[in-house]
Amino acid sequence: MKLQLTHLRLLVSNYKDTFLFYRDLLGLNLDWGDEESGYAEFSTGSIQIAIFKKELMAQVIPSMDQPSSFASQDKTSLIFAVDNVDEVYQKLKEHNGILMAPPTDRPEWGIRTAHFRDPDGNLIEIYTNMGIVI
């Protein structure tokens, strides 16, 4: 099993201002999204920095009912590309991993994902491209 770190995703409450900060103030090159999309990716060289509205992530990992300061509403997640989401998820399941969301096709994102936590509770997403151009 080979993991490749591809993104650092910041789960933000104030998406528009955060988007403008990374695009306009820091001058990062925008690869995907806009100030209204709720999700954007910026080039930093070898790894992407992504921002995502916390409420949208909370729809995937149920924590929407928790206040934003509550520990169960995540502020960041690590994103890894894998060859096969289902195989990695099954391995985590067999080793009593802290599973959050099973493998799911997300055609609106163009990927298949699964979510779990590391032993310290940090949210991790694994994904495989579905070959969909969005």
Going residue by residue through the chain, which has 134 residues, state the pLDDT in tens, using 9 for 90 and above.
888 999 999 888 899 999 998 999 888 999 999 999 999 999 988 889 899 988 888 888 765 555 555 555 788 888 999 999 999 999 999 998 899 999 999 998 899 999 999 887 889 999 999 986 54
Strands (E), the chain: 4-12, 29-32, 39-43, 48-53, 76-81, 98-106, 111-117, 123-129
Instruction: Mark out the alpha helices in 1-134 (DSSP H runs).
Output: 15-20, 54-60, 85-94
Total count of domains within the chain: 1
Q: Please state, in angstroms and rounded to a whole number, the distance separating the CA atoms of residues 16 and 33.
A: 11
In a domain, 134, yes or no: no
In a domain, 58, yes or no: yes
In a domain, 124, yes or no: yes
Nearest CA to 3 among 67, 74, 92, 105? Answer: 92
Q: Please state, in angstroms and rounded to a whole number, the distance separating the CA atoms of residues 65 and 85.
A: 28
Q: Output phi, psi for 88, to 5 deg.
A: -65, -45
In a domain, 65, yes or no: yes
The CATH number of the domain holding residue 123 is 3.10.180.10
